[in-house]
Every structure is written in C-alpha cells, then in structure tokens.
Structure 1
Amino acid sequence: MRGDHPEAAEPPPDAEVRSAEHGHSDVVAQPHTGAEGGAIIDAEARAAEASSSEYPFGRPGRRFDRRSPFMVGLAGAAGVAVTYAGIQILLAVGQVLILIVVALFLAIGMEPAVSWLVRPWFPRWAAVTTVFLIGIGLFAGFLAAAIPPLVTQGGAFIHNAPDYVSHLSQRYPFIHDLNDRYHLQDRLQQTLGTDPSHVLGGVLDAGREAFSILSSTLIVAVLTAYFMANFTQIRSSIYRLFPNDRRPRAILIGDEIFTKVGGYILGNLLISVITAVLTFIWLLTFDVPYPLLLAVLVALLDLIPIVGSTIAGVVAALVALTVSVPITIATIVFFIVLRLLEDYLLVPRIIGRTVQVPALVTVVSVLLGGALLGIIGALLAIPVAAAGLLIVRETLLPSLDKR
C-alpha cells in the first residue's frame, strides 16, 4: 500500500517509493526505490512530518554561533576574498566603468532639457527622443563639417612643423638658442620621419585608436539613451535605498545634486562652443595658420577648468608667432580678455550660481581628477566636487555641530 512500509524494515530494492507523505518530490530522482537505503527513507519520513503549512521546508534549526573561532575566521577570510575579488573586478572593468560614468553624466546633463520639454501633450519618451536626436544631429553635423578641414590642416601642420621651427629660430634669437640647445628641429624630423616601417606602424596604431574611439563613442551614445529613457526609474531606485524616514531629505538633496550637475555640463558645453567660435573668427581675421584646428583645440581644452583655456591660449600664441610679434601679442591679449569674459559674463549667465565651488577646491579636484582618470576625470571633477560639498554641508557638518 502507498506509504505503508514500516520504519524498521527496509522495503524490497525494486519497490517503487513515490509517497508525497514521505517527503518525496515527484520531479526529482524518479523513481524512488528502496535502493536508496533505509537511512534515506527514514529521513524522508521525518521530513514529511517536519513540513507544515507554516514551514513548508521545515522549522529552521539552531543558528550558528557567530562568535565561535571558526565563524570569526571564516568571516575574516571571506571578507578578504571578497575585497580582493572586488578590486580585481574593478581593475578589469575600469574602462567600461568610465564609459558608464560618462554616459550617466551626459544623461544627467541633458535631463534639464528633457524635463523642460515634457508637457501633458508631449510625453517623456518624445522629449527624450527629441533631445537625443538633436544632440546626435549636432554632433554628426560638427564631425561632417570639421573632419575634412581638420585632417587637411592637421596633416599640413605636422608636415610643416620642422620648417616652422627653422623659420622661428631664424626670426627670434631665443628660439634659435632653444633649438641649438635641445635640437628641436632634428627631434621633430626624426619623429615625423618617412621610414616606411614607422609609417606603417603609425597607420596601424592610428587605425586601432580610431576604432577604439568610435566604439567607445557608440557605447556612450547607447548608454546615454538608455539612461535618459529610464532616468525617472533610476532616480526612484536610488531614493528607495534610503530609509523611509530619511527619504524626503534624500530627495531634496539628490535633486539639488542632479540640478547642479546638469546645469554645469550643459553650460560648460555651450561656453566651449562660444569660445571656439570667437577664437576661430579672431584667428581667421588675422590670417593665423590653421584657424579651425586651433578653434577645435580651444573648445576641447576649455572644457577643462582653470588650466584648459590657458594651455589653449599658449598654443594659439605660439602658432601666431609665425605671423608676427604684434599678432602674437594681440592674440595673447585676446585670450586674456576671453578668459575674463568667460569668468565674469558667460559663466554667471549660463551656468549661474548653481555650482558654487571654492577656487582651492576647484584646483585640487581638477588635479586629482586628472591624475585618476585623465581628461575625463578633470572634466567631471567640478560637478563631483560640488555634489560632495553639498552632501558634507547638509549631512556631516550639522551632525558634527551637535556633538
């Protein structure tokens, strides 16, 4: 009879045991037979008795003694192993994490435009699509218009660099002394030599670099689209990590951080475009060589706070030196005025006072960000520093003042 075998006697080896009352599962190790052994059959009978509606898998047993030497040693070893594995994972996926962070910051930067477009008759998905397509269109249009002259001017600049050094050394004694001391012209000619093996290696390296940049750009674009489309869910998920009684304050502080980061990124991009256009007009007016190449360089370097515009001005002044000394002096004055215009007119009006970071913190954060993540770290240093200062001012300092 089904389930009618005594505990003391072992059923025949060929007898089929399929009783649900004895803890058998109908989908595991069928058919259940006496060949499994009397000990297992006895355990299955006791398992069936232990199962109940409240505890379908039996009542939990006695907890492990967490203070026992074995458990303490096991926890310590597990902690070391998990920490080591985490560090190795971070090192292995470091480049991918950088792309994810860049995409997230771009999505946060475009969030103000998306939220501004959202209306009862214009849903969020339409706003995200519109902003994303406009951004992609502007970027593609810039590349289509700028890459051909950039390649032409860049190639001409590289080809004529040794001649420029020779021309400058003939016109200006101090450059002649530098050339004699450091052999600048010879070094440039060696670096830009026409050895076929070097040319082939340079072409292969350039191809690999171009493929890497293209793939990274595509990954960032796709991730940015996903972050923009799911930003409301991401925001809600972040806030749900906070306890319910602290969640309202977390929302207030978090939204302020999103506002600061978004305003800074959009404003910084717009200011870089304005400075690049003004630089291009200036260089083109005074016939300074390679105006488009230098304007794009100014736009890229101007994204880096504090030092970017200064480096761009030095490079442009050195190129203007090939024209004349008065043009060089005028170019230096132009970049000084441009920097003052940017600091006292463009930044207050475009970025506003949303990102309030002291000058010392700005310099230190840019240096640390550049040392850790290169140009990307320097670009993201200011909004990260602004967010950190806000968190410290609103959470850490009030608790310290109460002690």
Structure 2
Amino acid sequence: MAQGSEENRQGTGEGGRGGAEPVPGTGAHAPAEGQEHAGAPAASVMAEAENRAHRTSPLGSGRLNYFTLGFTGALGVLTAWLLVQALIGVHGLFINILVALFLAVGLNPLIEFLHRRGLPRWAAILTVCLALIAFVTAFVWTLVPPLTQQAGEFIANAPDLVRQLGDNRLFADLDRRFNVLGQVQHFVTSADFGQRVFGGVFGVGQAVLNSLIATFTVLVLTLFFMASLPGITEVGYRLVPRSRRAGVRELGDEIIARVGGYIGGQLLVALIGGVVALVFLTVIGSGYALTLALVVAVTALIPLIGTTIGALAATLVVAVGDLRLGAVTLVFFIVYQQIESYVIAPRVMRRSVDVAPTVTITAALLGGALLGLVGALIAIPVAAAVTLVLKQVVFPRLEER
C-alpha cells in the first residue's frame, strides 16, 4: 500500500509538471508551455515572409526611408547655409556690439570709482559717456580740417608739382625712357581729372560717414551696456546652479575687474603718450601738434604695433615740412617707445593683467587674424580671463586627482 501510494504521488507530481496547472483564484487550468507557443513559429515565419516581400517591393519602405533621410539632410544643409549667410550679413553689427560690450566692461571701474565718490550710478555713467563724446568730437574736429585742406592744396598744385618734377635729373631720365611725366601730366590736365578726384573724395567721404555712423552706434550701445551691466552679470550668474554660484560669481567678478583694469591701463598709457607727443610737437613748432598727438594717443590703444604706427605718422607729417625735424622726431619717438615699453607700461599693467609675453603676442596675432583690429584689441583681456580660469579652476582640480 505504501509503495502504491508512493507511485501515485510520483505520477501525480509528474502529471502536475507536464499537465496544466490551476490558475490561482480560479478553477480553470492554465495552458501548458508547449500549448501556449504552439502557433508562434508559424506566425513568425509568415511575418518574416511578408516583411521580405515588402522590402523587395519597388515602393517599399526602404526607398521611402532613404528619400526622407536625404530630404532631411538637404534641409539641414540649407538651414546651415542660410544661418551662415545671416551671420555674415550681421558681421558688422556683431563687431559693434562686441566693441560696445568691451568698452562697457572696461569703463565700469571708472563708473564704480565715481559712484564711490558720491555720484549716483546714472550720473557717473552720464559723466563717462559725455567724456567719450567730447573726446571723439575733438578727435574728428582736429583731424578732418587738416586733411581737407591738404587734399584741396594737393589738387590745386598738382600741375605745378608735375612740372617741377621735370627739372629733376632722375625724373627727366625716366621721362625720356618711359614718358612717365608726360602720362602723369596728361592725366592731371585731362578733363576727367576733377571727376576722378572728386569720385575718390566721395568714396572717402562715404567711408568717413560709415565710420561716424558706426561710432555713434557703438556709443549708444556702450551707454546701454554700462547702465545694464550689473543686471546682465546677475542674469548670467543665475544660470549657474546654486551650489556653484558663489564660486562662479567670485571668478566672474575677478575677470570683469581684470578686463576693466587692462582697458584702464591702456587708456592711461595712451594718454601719457599723447601728452608727451603734444609737448614735443609743440616745442618743435609743428602746425598740427594737437592732431598728431591725438593720432598717437588713439593708435597707442592697438596692441604691439599701435605706438609704432602713431610715431611713423607723426614723423612723416613733420618730415614733409622739414626733413631734419622729421629725423629728430623719429629719434625722439624711438627713445620714448623704449621708455614706455620697459618703464611705463609694466608699472601700469602690473596689477591688471597677469599674462606671459608669449601668450600676449600669440593672442594679439590670433585676434587680429580673426576679427581684425577689434580682435587684436580684445584678445589680450580674453587671454587674461582664460589664464585666470586655468589658474583658479582647472589646475587645482587637476592637482586633486
């Protein structure tokens, strides 16, 4: 009996494993595993055959997908091309905005200085803006009349200058060989000479007008950026997560201070150079002392080559009237450049920009190649900001690893 009951239990267990099991909560039996998937192979074979036939169809989904992919890619390329063309179209406006923002950040320390002395911020901004307008007006007022006068005198005296060249032996020999003076005299005395000259003058006038419009645009944008600079920086800091906001704020304020210190230092160096040039040119009796001094001061803002450009311009103007005074002017500016490079500029820039000379030269060259004069002007502050980020953020994190 025991053996029979044991066999019955084994049979019941094997039957339970092989047969259907009751579904909990119901009296029904669940289908066995083999019964549940009995029709699966046949269904999968039919689905695969249908998909194969659909793919091999001339109008199947494969060709439709390739067409959609190509069309989407073409739309992407067209959108990118239109975006590039739009950026090229607003290139000038972008440069004006960049210069205005650069000036606003650079003049912010002066505004903060006036604000600490008791002026409201709006009054400090207005004072700085009026000073900028006065400087630009003085520069244009002193530069345009001499250029206009010299151009008019050259046009009026051009025939006499050509005849005087005929008395020179070298030019007389060139005239016998190549008829140079004859061609020049024919061009000067031709009926369309005035039209060509005035056409060139009109082109120069158009360029001057465009420069004045760009200058006015930059001044207006600078005024708005100076007024809203605290709000702009605050919005930028709020884009950073709260856990890192304090560190980013400290680093950002330091970068703004460095950029402002650099621009302030450059303005001070340019002011010293302009004053020294004004004193020297007045002593030697130059009739364009103020104009040349302003040219020297403005070109001194250009990194690396600005002082040299101003010195050469002043030397050429003086040498036209007196060659000996021109040589003296050249020697004076060479000596002053050495003093400025090794005495004045290092002391002024010591606390504002901490950038290696090689980085300074490389940044100025790259900035000039990318954005011209504007790129050369802003390249050194950008290099100073990058150097500050490397020293305070990147290098410490690398040392911790």
Q: How is 1:311-390 mapped onto 2 (pairs within 5 angstroms)?
A: 311-322=309-320, 327-390=325-388
The answer on 1:222 being equivalent to 2:220 is yes
Q: 1:112 matched to which residue of 2? A: 109
Q: Structure 2-normalised TM-score?
A: 0.68
Partner of residue 280, structure 1? 278
- Match among 99, 111, 117 for residue 96 of structure 2: 99
Partner amino acid for 1:256? E
* 2:237 aligned to which of 232, 239, 243: 239
**What displacement does 1:316 show?**
3.4
Letter in 2 for 1:390: L
1:312-359 CA distance string (max 9 Å, x none): 333434444456665444323311221133224432444442112222
Aligned positions of 1:58-207 closer than 5 A: 83-119=80-116, 122-153=119-150, 195-207=193-205
Alignment RMSD (CA, Å): 4.3
Change (3 A) 1:92 1:330: same
Residue 34 (structure 1) aligns with: none
Given that 2:142 and 2:290 are in contact with CA atoms closer than 8 Å, whether structure 1 keeps it comes out as no
Q: More deviation in 231-240 or 186-195?
A: 186-195
Give the AA of the match of 2:120.
P
Which residue of structure 1 lines up, in the alignment, with residue 293 of structure 2?
A: 295
Letter in 2 for 1:270: L
Q: Specify whether residues 264 and 177 from structure 1 end up closer, same or farther in structure 2 by C-alpha distance, changes over 3 A only.
A: farther
What is the match of residue 58 of structure 1?
none
Q: State the match for 1:62 in structure 2.
A: none
Q: Structure 1-normalised TM-score?
A: 0.67
CA contact (8 A) 1:159 1:192 kept: no
In the other structure, the counterpart of 1:393 is 391
C-alpha spacing 1:145/1:88, structure 2 compared with 1 (3 Å): closer
Contact 2:367–2:375 (CA under 8 A) maintained in structure 1:
yes
- Equivalenced residue count is 332
Counterpart position of 1:264: 262
Q: Which segment is superposed worse, 92-101 or 339-348?
A: 339-348
Per residue, is there more helix in 1 or in 2? 2
Output the CA distance in 1 between the equivalents of 2:172 and 2:244.
67
Post-superposition offset of 1:240: 1.6
For residue 374 of structure 1, report the CA deviation from its aligned partner.
1.9
User: How far apart in 2 are the matches of 1:185 and 1:289?
Assistant: 32
In the alignment, structure 2 segments of 5+ residues that lack a partner are: 1-64
Cα distance, 1:285 vs structure 2: 2.4
Q: Summarize the Cα distance change of 1:369–1:81 in structure 2 as closer, same or farther, 3 Å threshold.
A: same
Per the TM alignment, residue 125 of structure 1 is displaced from its structure 2 partner at its CA by: 2.2
Instruction: Deviation per CA, 1:26-57: give whole Å up to 9, x if none.
Output: xxxxxxxxxxxxxxxxxxxxxxxxxxxxxxxx
CA distance in 1, matches of 2:67, 2:398: 39
Corresponding residue for residue 33 of structure 2: none
CA deviation map 1:168-190 (0-9, x unaligned) = x98xx9x9999x9xx99999999
1:59-81 CA-to-partner distances (Å, cap 9, x unmatched) read xxxxxxxxx99999999888766
Aligned-residue offset at 1:158: 8.4
Partner Cα distance (1:190, 1:254) in 2: 65
Match of 2:27 in 1: none
CA distance in 1, matches of 2:116, 2:149: 46
Computing the radius of gyration from Cα coordinates, the structure with the larger value is 2
Q: Secondary structure of 1:230's partner?
A: helix
> Matches of 1:177 and 1:273 in 2, distance apart?
49
CA distance in 2, matches of 1:376, 1:192: 39
Alpha-carbon offset, residue 133 of structure 1 = 2.5
The answer to whether the 8 A contact 2:139-2:291 is kept is no
C-alpha distance in structure 1 between counterparts of 2:378 and 2:400, whole Å: 33
CA distance in 1, matches of 2:154, 2:381: 36
C-alpha deviation, 1:288, in angstroms: 4.9
Structure 2 CA distance for aligned equivalents of residues 133 and 381 of structure 1: 27
